[in-house]
């Protein structure tokens, strides 16, 4: 039996956007601390890694971070990229470090590709190919990303099914992997080459008992972001001069729509509607991912935390 098999699974709090994952994680961390057990949070979010992107990502604020240590927040400049493979490597290192300190690692976030990589392991993916990406960009400029999405569906239906037709970054990467390796991206996340590297997880999934209530919560949260200065945050990113909508950071939901609005492409009303619609679509895709994981433990994200999570010690060793 390997050392990994001797250790308990890592608890992972997941759910669609605006489901209250951070609040739930901090609730469990306080419960554990009251019983004398330290907890450290590992963020599983592809946007929270970026510095200067706080309001639009709903990044935990200083008071929340003071509750317990948080990891993988503010580790990159928005000009940089971050991959599932990097996340798995960082998460593995942090899990070991946290356990050596005698604390419990608690993963929290909604980037489902990262969750899948943790669950199934990640076989080696080909490195980015500049010439191939340029060709795919040229094809997209001529045909449109929905056409490339259809091309992807013909060779990798599982990956295409979880991507929006205009998700340029992920469609491009999935086609690149297929063309370079001869294997669909989805095959790299199934038991096989990387299965031995999978991290045992206990998945606590926050899901809405009423999708309409979650949609209303998404709209309310976005309006709160606007009131908190989200557009000023995006203006500051634009003023740097080295960022563009081609970067993964600016393609994040909300930021992409804000960038277009500040370019004068959309009105304030159109911007708000498009950002909320995109966030709802993100939530729908996240729920689709989660429902493909029968081993998850489901909790109603619309119930009060004490009722939703119950009184059981969900972080018990």
pLDDT tens profile 195-227: 446 789 999 999 999 999 999 999 999 999 999
Q: What are phi and psi of 64, to 5 degrees?
A: -70, -40
For residue 191, what pLDDT is reported? 54
Percent of the chain with pLDDT over 90: 69
pLDDT of residue 196: 47
104, pLDDT greater than 70: yes
**Residue 84 binned pLDDT confidence (cut-offs 50, 70, 90):** confident
pLDDT tier at 3 (50, 70, 90 boundaries)?
Answer: very low
At 138-172, the pLDDT tens digits run 889 889 999 999 999 999 998 998 888 988 888 99
Give 51: exposed, middle or buried? Use CB within 10 Å, 0-12, 13-18, 19+: middle
pLDDT for res 209: 96
pLDDT digits (tens, 9 = 90+) for 260-269: 999 999 999 9
Confidence of residue 28 (pLDDT cuts 50, 70, 90): very high
Model pLDDT, residue 125: 76
With cut-offs at 50, 70 and 90, classify the pLDDT of residue 2.
very low
What backbone torsions phi and psi does residue 314 show, to the nearest 5 degrees?
-75, -15
Whether 185 has a pLDDT exceeding 60, the answer reads yes
Report whether pLDDT(193) > 80. Answer: no
| pLDDT value of position 96 | 96
**pLDDT at site 164:** 86
Confidence of residue 6 (pLDDT cuts 50, 70, 90): low
State yes or no: pLDDT of 85 exceeds 80. yes
Q: Tokens 């948080």 — which residue?
A: 70
Span 30-70, pLDDT tens digits: 999 999 999 999 999 999 999 999 999 999 999 999 999 99
The pLDDT of residue 179 is 87
pLDDT at residue 5 above 70? Answer: no
Q: Which residues contact 149 (CB under 8 A, 6 or more apart)?
A: 160, 163, 164, 165, 166, 167, 171
d(CA 178, CA 174): 6
State pLDDT tens for residues 124-145.
778 788 888 888 988 898 899 9
Say what the pLDDT of residue 49 is.
98
Q: How sure is the predictor about 314, in pLDDT bands with cuts at 50, 70 and 90?
A: confident
Which are the contacts of 38, defined by CB distance < 8 A and separation ≥ 6? Answer: 32, 68, 101, 102, 103, 104
Summarize pLDDT for 270-311 with one digit per residue, the tens: 999 999 999 999 999 999 999 989 999 999 999 987 777 765
Say which residue the tokens 């490339």 belong to: 148
Judge whether 105 and 42 are in contact, CB under 8 Å.
yes
């Amino acid at each position: 039996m390997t050392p990994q098999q001797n250790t308990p699974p890592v608890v992972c709090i997941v759910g669609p956007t605006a489901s209250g994952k951070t609040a739930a994680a901090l609730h469990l961390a306080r419960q554990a601390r009251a019983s004398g057990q330290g907890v450290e949070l590992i963020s599983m979010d592809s946007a929270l890694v970026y510095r200067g992107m706080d309001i639009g990502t709903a990044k935990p604020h200083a008071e929340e971070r003071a509750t317990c240590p948080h990891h993988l927040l503010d580790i990159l400049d928005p000009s940089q990229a971050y991959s599932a493979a990097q996340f798995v490597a960082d998460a593995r290192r942090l899990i070991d470090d946290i356990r050596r300190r005698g604390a419990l690692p608690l993963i929290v976030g909604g980037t489902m590709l990262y969750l899948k990589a943790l669950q199934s392991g990640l076989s080696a993916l080909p490195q980015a190919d500049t010439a191939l990406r340029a060709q795919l960009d040229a094809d997209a400029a001529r045909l449109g990303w929905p056409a490339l999405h259809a091309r992807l569906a013909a060779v990798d239906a599982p990956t295409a099914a979880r991507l929006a037709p205009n998700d340029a970054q992920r469609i491009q990467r999935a086609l690149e992997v297929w063309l370079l390796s001869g294997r669909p991206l989805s095959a790299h996340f199934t038991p096989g080459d990387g299965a031995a590297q999978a991290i045992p997880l206990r998945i606590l999934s926050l899901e809405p008992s009423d999708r309409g209530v979650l949609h209303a919560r998404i709209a309310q949260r976005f309006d709160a972001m606007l009131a908190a200065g989200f557009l000023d945050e995006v203006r500051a990113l634009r003023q740097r001069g080295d960022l563009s909508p081609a970067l993964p950071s600016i393609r994040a939901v909300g930021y992409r729509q804000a960038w277009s609005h500040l370019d004068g492409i959309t009105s304030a009303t159109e911007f708000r509607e498009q950002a909320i619609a995109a966030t709802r679509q993100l939530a729908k895709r996240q729920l689709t991912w989660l429902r493909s994981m029968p081993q998850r433990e489901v909790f109603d994200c619309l119930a009060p935390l004490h009722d939703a999570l119950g009184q059981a010690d969900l972080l018990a060793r």
